Structure 1
Amino acid sequence: MKQILKDRTLLIIGAAEMVSGIGDWITMMAVLAMLVFRGDGGVMSSSGIFLAGLLPTLFSSPVAGWLVDRVNRRTLLIGSQLLAGVVVSGLFFTTRIELIYILLAVEAVILSVVTPTRQAVIPDLVSREDLPRANAFLQQLAGLVKVFSPVIAGMVLSIMDPHTAILFDVASFFLAAIVLMFLPSLPAHGTETTHEKSKLAESPINVLQTIPQLQILFTGVFVAILTIIGFDVLSSIYTRDVLHQGEKLYGMAISLVGIGSLVATTIVMFRKTGANPWIDIVLGFSFLTIIPLALVVSYQFDNLLAAQYLLLFACLIGGIGNGLVHVQIGTIMQLVTPTHILGQVSGWLQMVMVAGQLVGLLLTPFLVPGLVNMEHFFAGMVGMMCILIIFLSIQIFRKNGLKQEIPSAEF
């Protein structure tokens, strides 16, 4: 663990992500405030916010991964923050919903290089046995952002209008770029490969076809996100229409997800012996299932206060699951993917994750409330997650199933 905290490059990347992450949350809450909490927007408006940030990323992610394997990673990180800051500043000058969606879409394209870059850089900084801890460290910082950012955003929005609050995000991008300038050069590996490896790097689908663990990982991630995204879409509507609350409770619930992530990442960081990352993923999915299950149960309550507490408790438990899943998805991919193509595979994984979100975003407003009510929809989410958990458990515990990919490590 000491080696992780002594890695200057890892600390710089984490600090920059924290700064820009806080700004991102302020913008998201500001846009939600404009279109949902302080407007008359419904499921379609809520879906539109997510859709504007996801649809372009579906197409840009493979290109982003290709760039990560060919362009100096330091240049990509700094450039993405500067360009994103310029684009987000446009939100200050408009109230037209279509322009808001366009600006969010352009921002998403620019930032699509960030996650593949981080995933590709980490194996260059730490040993294989320290990969879970390094991923947990960065996820812990993300958890801190999720804990405090909604509260900060709520405070900011309580004293100024949403458009003015967006300027905080603009400043955060430029500050993150300044922090990233202290990074050393982070050369890409794709340009250093042999001719045979370069040929393989041009076809990441070949890697996916030959590594069964990646196939299962991609499938599981897609199904889980397709299912859980329904909560993201409906949570603001559920908070407003079922619990009769607004930004304050919504922000508190998101903060508890962050606290749960902190708990999970702390466990991974200080775990003395290696553990099968696949078991952590199954456990994480199980904890995430608690969120829709709690929402189903809350419909049986006549006491709104009890329903609110149940939601907050579920978000805390679900946050633990979220932390475990995020850490170990990155760990598995880094362990089984060749270094020279890790950026591209990371880009493809990001594309698959976005595809799951997009399908869920399109299905949710189509199903709710036209075909099913929110209670039945949340019940369906529980069923889907249970099927996924059973499938992964079979893959892990069957003969010659998914095994631990990292050696045990002692502090």
Structure 2
Amino acid sequence: MKKVFYSWKNPFILLFGIGLSNIGDWIYLIALNLIVLDMTGSPLAVAALYILKPLATLFTNFWSGTVIDRLNQRNLMFGLDMARAVLIFILPSLSSVWLIYSVVFMINMGSSIFEPTSMTYITKLIPSQKRKRFNSFRSLIDSGGFLIGPAIAGLLFMLGTPYMAIYVNALTFLGSGFITLLLPQLDDLTLKQKNLPNLSFGLLKKDWNVVRLFTRNYPYVMGVYFLFSLMMVMAAALDSLEASFSKEVLKLTDAEYGFLVSIAGAGIAAGAVVNTLFAKRIITSLLIGLGSLFVSIGYMVYAFSLSFEIAALGFGVLSFSLAFANTGFYTFYQENIPVNVMGRVGSIYGLIEAFFIIIATVSIGLTAQLWSVQFAVIGGSFIMLLVTGALCYISFHYEEKSDEKIYENENIKVYGK
């Protein structure tokens, strides 16, 4: 037991920091929506908040990978948490919605850099044989944030105001940052600082070429990555019509809509628990392929539903399956992207994903406006089904035909030292 405790001490510290940050994200999201709605009285002003995240990714990810791969990731994670905590702390003092948008944009920039940084650090910290179990725990933590965050936000609204919730969120980022300092550095900090080149267009161009070469030499790996990203793009676009679909098509009351969202939360939690128990025994291709396929099947059930019960079934299937799909993808990513270029690969492909999210969200919104909400949701769900069908096929087809054992391969050529 002592040996197990020490071998899992750092992973559990990291999971605790991730969980604290996830809970804070939900508190921040709900509170900020209410603050902007109260200031403007405009649903469009609230919707604009959701466009700021992919816009921030477009602004940062073309250069952030170059920085991530050449800095000490633990210290960078700490600095980003501190910066976001300060920015969130000043939000309640802002009286202009445009100032709020500006600060939220900077917060989202920090989040866009933090995500590939944390993935790189996690891959270095967690040994290969523990990654699938760690990622299943991470799915469980994410589902816990989905359930606990809104509940805490609601309690804070009862005790005070949305501004109080914003201050609590700033504290969660401070806590997450200091927890990060309890983790090992994993890099020679002196060597990192000594070898850090100046950020220039030439260096960026060189690093973009590294990502291009890796994509060309490992088309299967990046094909799986791209298809999974497309699935998440379509999920983001469909989620933007969730409230409209529930109100206009299903004719749900506010209470019924809230209950439908709770069912999704319960599905995520149930999937994460089952995933934690069995993920280690399930091959990665099965987690990615079938997990993603059933996510899209859940969306299809939801898209064709005309009653609360059928919509709840669809929500339950997609949210339950999402935990398996995410665990499979995280494990695949960590096993198949060289850690010394992971920041650059994740950032550039995150940039592409953000671009597609904006295009898909605008397109599905225009479709709903010109035709109908249900037609838009059905169309988006069908596209997602095609994408996940291709993802499922390529996962199993490649594993059957390849002698490289790409899912468990630790000897991938290293680029961009």
TM over 0.5: yes
Q: Rate the CA distance shift 1:236–1:162 in 2: closer, same or farther, 3 A.
A: farther
SS in 1 for 2:149: helix
Residue 205 of structure 1 and its aligned partner are, at CA, apart by 2.1
Question: Given the alignment of the two structures, is residue 21 of structure 1 paired with residue 22 of structure 2, yes or no?
Answer: yes
Q: Rate the CA distance shift 1:273–1:29 in 2: closer, same or farther, 3 A.
A: closer
Q: TM-score, normalised by structure 1?
A: 0.83
Residue 7 of structure 1 and its aligned partner are, at CA, apart by 2.3
SS in 2 for 1:187: coil
Q: Which amino acid aligns with 2:16?
A: A
Q: Distance in 2 between matches of 1:60 and 1:34?
A: 26
Q: Distance in 1 between matches of 2:115 and 2:390?
A: 27
> CA deviation digits over 1:301-322, x for unaligned, max 9?
4xxxxx1x44444333212222
Consecutive unaligned residues in structure 2, runs of 5 or more:
196-205, 410-417
Counterpart residue number, 2:335: 335
Q: Distance in 2 between matches of 1:202 and 1:404?
A: 23
> CA deviation digits over 1:226-273, x for unaligned, max 9?
321123212233445554544x66565455444433433444433376
Q: Quick check: 2:146–2:265 contact (8 Å CA) kept in 1?
A: yes
Q: Rate the CA distance shift 1:350–1:263 in 2: closer, same or farther, 3 A.
A: farther
Counterpart residue number, 1:163: 163
Q: Distance in 2 between matches of 1:113 and 1:332?
A: 21
Counterpart residue number, 1:276: 283
Q: Quick check: 1:288–1:322 contact (8 Å CA) kept in 2?
A: yes
Q: Which amino acid aligns with 2:77?
A: L
Deviates more, 1:123-132 or 1:206-215: 123-132
Deviates more, 1:204-213 or 1:275-284: 275-284
Consecutive unaligned residues in structure 1, runs of 5 or more:
194-198, 302-306
Residue 99 of structure 1 and its aligned partner are, at CA, apart by 2.4
Q: Quick check: 2:20–2:175 contact (8 Å CA) kept in 1?
A: yes
Q: Which amino acid aligns with 1:169?
A: N
Residue 147 of structure 1 and its aligned partner are, at CA, apart by 1.6
Q: Distance in 2 between matches of 1:272 and 1:24?
A: 26
Q: Distance in 2 between matches of 1:98 and 1:311?
A: 37
Question: Given the alignment of the two structures, is residue 396 of structure 1 paired with residue 395 of structure 2, yes or no?
Answer: yes
Deviates more, 1:226-235 or 1:345-354: 345-354
> CA deviation digits over 1:189-243, x for unaligned, max 9?
99599xxxxx779722211221122321232123212321123212233445554
Alignment equivalent of 1:293, drawn from 289, 293, 300: 300
> CA deviation digits over 1:259-311, x for unaligned, max 9?
4334334444333765332332222222322443343333x34xxxxx1x444
Q: Rate the CA distance shift 1:250–1:100 in 2: closer, same or farther, 3 A.
A: farther
Q: Distance in 1 between matches of 2:262 and 2:6?
A: 25
Q: Quick check: 2:133–2:280 contact (8 Å CA) kept in 1?
A: no
Q: Distance in 2 between matches of 1:29 and 1:111?
A: 17
Q: Rate the CA distance shift 1:23–1:239 in 2: closer, same or farther, 3 A.
A: farther
Q: Which ranges of 4 or more aligned residues in structure 1 deviate by more than 6 Å?
A: 199-202
Q: Distance in 2 between matches of 1:335 and 1:164?
A: 42
Q: Rate the CA distance shift 1:134–1:26 in 2: closer, same or farther, 3 A.
A: same
Question: Given the alignment of the two structures, is residue 63 of structure 1 paired with residue 70 of structure 2, yes or no?
Answer: no
Q: Which amino acid aligns with 1:24?
A: D
Counterpart residue number, 1:387: 386
Counterpart residue number, 2:96: 96
Q: Which amino acid aligns with 2:408?
A: I
Counterpart residue number, 1:85: 85
Alignment equivalent of 2:210, drawn from 174, 195, 203: 203
Matches of residues 8-407 of structure 1 in structure 2 within 5 Å?
8-35=9-36, 40-42=41-43, 44-187=44-187, 191=192, 203-241=210-248, 243-246=251-254, 252-271=259-278, 274-298=281-305, 300-301=306-307, 307=308, 309-369=309-369, 371-398=370-397, 401=401, 405-406=407-408
Q: Rate the CA distance shift 1:5–1:292 in 2: closer, same or farther, 3 A.
A: farther
Residue 64 of structure 1 and its aligned partner are, at CA, apart by 2.9
Deviates more, 1:1-10 or 1:277-286: 1-10
Q: Quick check: 1:85–1:173 contact (8 Å CA) kept in 2?
A: yes
Deviates more, 1:352-361 or 1:14-23: 352-361
Q: Quick check: 1:287–1:318 contact (8 Å CA) kept in 2?
A: yes
C-alpha RMSD of the superposition: 3.3
Q: Rate the CA distance shift 1:311–1:280 in 2: closer, same or farther, 3 A.
A: same
SS in 1 for 2:304: helix
Q: Rate the CA distance shift 1:153–1:231 in 2: closer, same or farther, 3 A.
A: farther
Q: Quick check: 2:296–2:388 contact (8 Å CA) kept in 1?
A: no
Q: Rate the CA distance shift 1:148–1:225 in 2: closer, same or farther, 3 A.
A: same
Q: Which amino acid aligns with 1:292?
A: Y
Deviates more, 1:84-93 or 1:285-294: 285-294
SS in 1 for 2:355: helix
Residue 59 of structure 1 and its aligned partner are, at CA, apart by 3.0
Residue 17 of structure 1 and its aligned partner are, at CA, apart by 1.8
Counterpart residue number, 1:196: none
Identical-residue share of aligned pairs (%): 18
Q: Distance in 1 between matches of 2:273 and 2:85?
A: 32
Q: TM-score, normalised by structure 2?
A: 0.82
Q: Distance in 2 between matches of 1:317 and 1:188?
A: 45
SS in 2 for 1:405: helix
